[in-house]
Structure 1
């Protein structure tokens, strides 16, 4: 891949897609293509085929899809499956027809069995049942990953690369407490509790489950390394994590400190915890030469600042 290569980033306004776009622009890549929902509906197969025929991308980063927290997953499971399956099927098929040199598909650590060896190796996929609270999403992402492997197997070329990042965070995240993931949702909840001087805040579950978090900029750096490097000898899929995890209780306390909320944290154990632990074994990608560089607390601070700045930009009192 050279600086003039035509690269299509699907989902460029989202958390991971926007980070990939920034990384490509910082790297001097001059022909980065994006599309908005208004211009291209990725669930429309014919529209996607026409788009690929028109722009003729050489490389594709598929970071588009429907994501959300436990409540969203349990409320709209059919929507999660319909949207994600359609996007993956349409983009992979169009990319194959267009003869793209490489495609990176971002899957999810939700795909792993609930009861899984820790850290979770890629070989543990399909060895058990995923966490029920995010089952529909997990199955849709498993299908996308398997489609990549199927294209590679059937056509004898390892062009489609499924990558499994753990819980991502950073600028352009979804901070809605109802639909966002735990880290971004907590940032907003603690900020609002601080602003209203709430004496306490109620949090779901026991606080004991452990999660691994990775900044979107680290994910983007790994993406560029895979696009530019020789991936012919790699075994797919590839886990993408930092190798460090935190309990949800530790996460909440750290975010409260970053935000400046001094009230009491109350844990509602009547609410579900989700999977007990999700730590990835990223040895395959580490052996390839990639390393995470963003410090967790520093990343939290910049993410919180982005949240504050975005509220001002949108004319909303943060």
Structure 2
């Protein structure tokens, strides 16, 4: 196996985030399930936007947040996601490249606008997402560069990609190329509602060896195995995945592998502001630990540190150098 050009390459829905603080009444008025991610059309997007208060706007997308976190830690990174050649698309491309991430996916010249997610953050820090996929849903196998995938130690895929058909095919193509090159493939389950939609297919990806590493939170794990028994679900995950990482909010995370089960406590925080991006940034820290061969416990600590940084401010991307933060806390970078 040749040396990798990139530590991690992520493939995801390129989504521009519009974040606003709202109360439970706003969610009720718009019939939103708190804490969920719902796919919406352009008309509903416009209706929600009209009713929103002052917003914070920034580039987002689950796998993109992860890859920006990895770059902040000092990893060599690349991203694949579809935008349109419009104003928001240009901002999106600028932001991800400015973070030090290689981004070479050709923008669409026609079709739907660059995707947007309208994220309502309630006073308890919970986020409820309403996503208009737009151009992101037109990511296709043609956007997958075999050389770039083969040159990446880990290819990281977001479960949300399973919604659009072409993106699903791109996902499978990338996994196949990665394995042929002797590389690893990671999947984040993304959302419990996403797991509800594609449970059997996700299980087949794991059991069939299409993915090697699986990231999930507790809700996603329970949804995957349709059980409220955490220990039972964890045991099943250990059988189905080469490596499984389950985040448990303030309880930290659990890592399951052939070597056994490791629990890592959460990193302490001063104030929870916004949970948007917590799982994305945890994955960034953990993947960084993996490519730096720190061992699972240190990888879990790096994940906890990155998640703790992002949940203490609005927005799903780090506001300080994660590399510097890790160094200050005695973690390997």
The answer to whether the superposition gives a TM-score over 0.5 is no
Pairwise TM-score range, normalised by the shorter structure = 0.3 to 0.5
TM-score by structure 2 length?
Answer: 0.37
Q: What TM-score, normalized by structure 1, do the two folds share?
A: 0.38
Q: Determine which structure has the larger strand proportion and give its number.
A: 2
Q: Which has the larger radius of gyration?
A: 1
